[in-house]
Amino acid sequence: MWLPFTNGWSQSATFTVRTNQNSTLEIFSQLDPLTINTIHNWELVFNTADGFPISGAQVSVVGGMPDHDHGLPTAPVVTREIAPGRYLLEGIRFHMPGRWLLTIDVDCDQDSQSASLEFQL
């Protein structure tokens, strides 16, 4: 299981999450800094505790604004693995300022894991 992670109150476009087994998920936005009302893509990089890429995973992302009780305005989708352990998430957009919470689920042969990412725009 991924440990929850809070980036804090910033528009950073790079995040790192560690699991309780020291695996890592790194998130790189192709839009830096994050801005309102711009559709963009993210690259998600998954590595084991030993630094080996986690390949062949099924990845999904859901999220929204818990304070406003609504989801994302788009339905972002991981479209492909662009390199071992590196996945392309396409079609993400944030339509208003405030606190956002995303959940990233990863299913692979080894196990299933989930990461929580919270940040403020």
Question: What pLDDT tens digit does each residue of the chain (121 aa) get?
Answer: 343 444 443 455 677 776 655 678 889 988 888 889 999 999 999 988 888 999 999 999 999 999 999 999 999 999 999 999 999 999 999 999 999 999 888 888 767 888 888 888 8
Query: How far is residue 58's CA from residue 82's CA, in Å, rounded to a whole number?
Result: 13
Report the pLDDT value the prediction gives residue 12, as an integer from 0 to 100.
57
Query: How far is residue 97's CA from residue 7's CA, in Å, rounded to a whole number?
Result: 15
Question: What fold characterizes domain 5-120?
Answer: Immunoglobulin-like (2.60.40)
SS3 64: strand
Report the pLDDT value the prediction gives residue 8, as an integer from 0 to 100.
42
Report the pLDDT value the prediction gives residue 111, as an integer from 0 to 100.
76
Q: Is the peptide bond before 73 cis (omega within 30 degrees of 0)?
A: no
Report the pLDDT value the prediction gives residue 19, as an integer from 0 to 100.
60
Domain boundaries, the chain: 5-120
Report the pLDDT value the prediction gives residue 20, as an integer from 0 to 100.
52
pTM greater than 0.75 (yes/no): yes
